[in-house]
């Protein structure tokens, strides 16, 4: 098999490492394999990290009810800011955990269905739906856990001037 494009080199390297298996594709065609052979993105270390974030979120929520925090406006602002930064991650993880429980229930229903083909098909459809939603949530959680730029909260001023280019540059700068 002749490998000449960077994509084919990458695919062959992945195949050699055993990460993904690719079927031979027709010439000049790229096929997309399903990711079912890849491990789940939220492994035990990631789940323990998310549990820590959830505990921290709950502690910050409890601190909001503390009279000492309520009386100190600077501390209240800091606690509310810290809580709001982790809220989206916690909500996504809680939904993921709920879907995980639902998936276990659907798998149990599938196994308990026995010879009932209709029940097994219903459980299989539910499992596919839950797995699809879990994959979307995994990607969302990965993005939410990326470190934030410390300059994101800062304001900036941008001045646009018409440089060289005559009247067209003035019109363009004026439109902006």
Residue 5 is given by DSSP the state: S
Q: Long-range contacts of range 139-148, CB-CB < 8 Å, 24 or more positions apart?
A: 139/41, 140/92, 141/41, 141/42, 141/50, 141/89, 141/92, 141/93, 141/96, 142/41, 144/88, 144/89, 144/92, 145/49, 145/89, 148/85
pTM here is: 0.61
The pLDDT of residue 41 is 55
The pLDDT of residue 116 is 84
Each residue's pLDDT tens digit, 10-34: 444 444 444 444 444 444 333 333 3
Q: Is the pLDDT of residue 129 over 60?
A: yes
Q: Residue with structure tokens 């001023």?
A: 157
The pLDDT of residue 160 is 81
Q: What is the average per-residue pLDDT within 111-123?
A: 87
Each residue's pLDDT tens digit, 139-152: 999 999 888 888 87
Each residue's pLDDT tens digit, 70-97: 999 999 999 999 999 899 999 999 999 9
């Amino acid at each position: 098999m002749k490998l000449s494009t960077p994509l084919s080199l990458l695919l062959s390297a992945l195949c050699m490492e055993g990460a993904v298996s690719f079927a031979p594709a027709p010439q000049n065609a790229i096929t997309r394999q399903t990711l079912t052979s890849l491990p789940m993105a939220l492994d035990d270390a990631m789940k323990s990290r998310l549990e820590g974030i959830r505990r921290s979120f709950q502690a910050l929520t409890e601190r909001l009810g503390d009279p000492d925090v309520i009386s100190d406006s600077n501390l209240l602002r800091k606690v509310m800011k810290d809580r709001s930064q982790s809220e989206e991650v916690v909500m996504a993880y809680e939904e993921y955990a709920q879907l995980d429980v639902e998936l276990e229930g659907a798998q149990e229903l599938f196994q308990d269905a026995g010879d009932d083909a209709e029940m097994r098909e219903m459980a299989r459809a539910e499992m596919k739906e839950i797995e699809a939603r879990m994959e979307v949530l995994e990607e969302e959680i990965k993005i939410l856990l990326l470190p934030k730029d410390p300059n994101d909260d800062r304001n900036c001023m941008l001045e646009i001037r018409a440089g060289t280019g005559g009247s067209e540059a003035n019109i363009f700068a004026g439109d902006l």
